[in-house]
Amino acid sequence: MSTHPHPHDHSHEVTHDHTPCADASEAPPGYYEVMEIAVRELLIEKQLIGPGEIRRQIEVLDSRSPALGAKVVARAWVDPDFRARLLTNGRKACEDFGISFYDDTELIVLENTETCHNLIVCTLCSCYPRPVLGLPPDWYKAKPYRARAVKEPRAVLAEFGTVIPADVEIRVSDSTAQVRFLVLPRRPAGTDGWSEEALAALVTRDAMIGVVTLDSQPLTESDGEA
Amino acid sequence: MHPSPSEPDPRPPFRPVTSVVLALGEAPAFRPGDPVRIGVRFPVGHYRVPRYIRGCDGVVESVITPMAVNNEIEGFGHNAGSKGHYYRVAIPLTALWPGYAGSPADNLRIEVFETWLERSST
């Protein structure tokens, strides 16, 4: 059978599936899904991109997850020199650490301290430190979080179970341009002597967005091994 | 890479040159600590200056590097020409939201392109 479109050949719909990336859902594609497929097929047909490039970029995105960011945080906790470089130029320090930046974004790392708690948001869309954290959670992209994080951050934090003392400054960073943000959480008490791997296991995605802090850890002998 | 204290640094002393003339717009117009006001204008279309900060007073925290194109021009398909500066600006939440209930120290940090910033005296 030819791959040429046959508007009158109804059996054709079965054999020529335009949704190579379709999920398991049986629902017909929505407006934007159809638009995406049309643009993608046009770009490939015009040979502006190859189908392999899209697959490869999905692979790039899939290789990024909060586990990477957690390794960056743990290294910053155990290595004062790395921490200093990370706070000076987040992107450069992450690149030196082996995390490539496949886009043109810069990275500012925001250090939480006794007197300052950082929270990140993108009120305009869904800017997120994807090279180090992967894809953002759905709530981060949803309008309630985007609108409220800059207007009533303490109420938003409380809904995440996070209560920041009134004498601690809340600093909300709104991504609008080429800079992305990563929160460097405070190292939990009771983790002295922990290995970098054990520390990284404590660091959560939400802590690196700044909606939670990390709990103190009960110090046990097994945790303390280097 | 760092010579130990016992060995003298073999490199010649670092003396930055002072004879370079900067291109127009190359030097940042604002410095950290400068009070600024976000411009108030409402062009049609998607702009990266959110409306909730327009007209508000803030203070420049830092100059963002590297310089970048004016995305308002590039974003609409025109050539923005030379790059300009973004600034990370601090704005108290009490200045943004009348009746803000949290601490007066709570604040927003946001990147604003130079063309949207006005020098302010406050």
B3-43 confidence digits (pLDDT tens)? 556 677 888 888 888 889 998 889 999 999 999 999 999 98
Q: B57: which residues sit within 8 A by CB, 6+ positions away?
A: B35, B36, B37, B91, B95, B120, B122
Specify whether A56 is located in the same domain as A85: no
CB contact under 8 A, B101 and A152: yes
Regarding whether A90 and A198 lie in a shared domain, the answer is yes
pLDDT in tens, chain A (226 residues): 344 444 444 444 444 444 455 556 688 999 999 999 999 999 999 999 998 999 999 999 999 999 999 999 999 999 999 999 999 999 999 999 999 999 889 999 999 999 999 999 999 999 999 999 999 999 999 999 999 999 999 999 999 999 999 999 999 999 999 999 999 999 999 999 999 999 999 999 999 999 999 987 776 645 444 4
- Identify whether residues A174 and A130 lie together within a single domain: yes
The separation between CA B20 and the C-alpha centre of its own chain, rounded to angstroms, equals: 23
What per-residue confidence (pLDDT) applies to A217?
76
Q: Is residue A72 part of a domain?
A: yes
Both A35 and A96 in one domain: the answer is no
pTM for the whole structure = 0.84
Name the 3-class secondary structure at A31: helix
Asked, for residue A217, whether it belongs to a domain, the answer is no
> The domain spanning residue A109 has which CATH number?
3.90.330.10
For residue A15, being part of any structural domain is answered with: no
> Are B88 and A106 within 8 A, CB to CB?
no
Domain final residue pick, A33, A62, A91: A62
Give dist(CA A10, CA A165) in Å, integer.
66
Neighbour-count burial of A197, counting CB atoms closer than 10 A to its CB (0-12 exposed, 13-18 middle, 19+ buried): exposed
If you measure CA to CA, which chain B residue comes closest to A174? B110
Asked if residues A223 and A198 have their Cβ atoms less than 8 Å apart, the reply is yes
Known catalytic residue at A126: yes
Judge if A77 and A93 occupy the same domain.
yes
And the tokens for B53?
């900060």
Test the B interface: residue of A114, A168, A172, A183 with most B CBs within 10 Å: A172
- Our count of domains for chain A comes to 2
A4, part of any domain: no
Q: Residues A41, A140: one domain? A: no
Measured between beta carbons, the chain B residues lying within 8 angstroms of A167 are 103
Contact B107 A108 (CB under 8 A): no
Would you list the DSSP string of A152-168? -HHHHHHHTT----TTS
Of A123, A154, A172, the CB nearest to B50: A123
Domain region containing A190: 66-209
Q: What's the angle, vertex CA A105, arms to CA A31 and CA B83, rounded to 5?
A: 105
| Substitution target from B69, B71, B91, B109 for chain A, most A beta carbons within 10 A | B109
Same domain, A88 and A191: yes
Pairs from A214-217 (Cβ < 8 Å, separation ≥ 24)? A214/A185, A214/A186, A214/A187, A214/A188, A215/A188, A216/A188, A216/A189, A216/A190, A217/A188, A217/A189, A217/A190, A217/A191
- Please state the rounded mean pLDDT for residues B63-72: 91
- Best of A125, A174, A183 to disrupt the B interface (most B CBs within 10 Å) is A174
Residues A137 and A37 in one domain: no
A53 and A96 together in one domain? no
Looking at the domain assignment, is residue A195 inside a domain?
yes
Q: Among A62, A94, A111, which residue terminates a domain?
A: A62
A148 and A78 belong to one structural domain: yes
Residues of B in contact with A117 (CB under 8 A): none
Does residue A215 lie within any of the structural domains? no
For residue A124, give the nearest of B50, B66, B102 by CB distance: B50
User: What residues form DSSP beta bridges with B92?
Assistant: B107
Residues A83 and A97 placed together within one structural domain of the fold: yes
Same domain, A114 and A54: no
What are the CA-CA distances from residue B67 to residues A156, B84, B113 (Å)? 33, 5, 10
* Domains along the sequence of chain B with CATH: 35-119 (2.30.30.50)
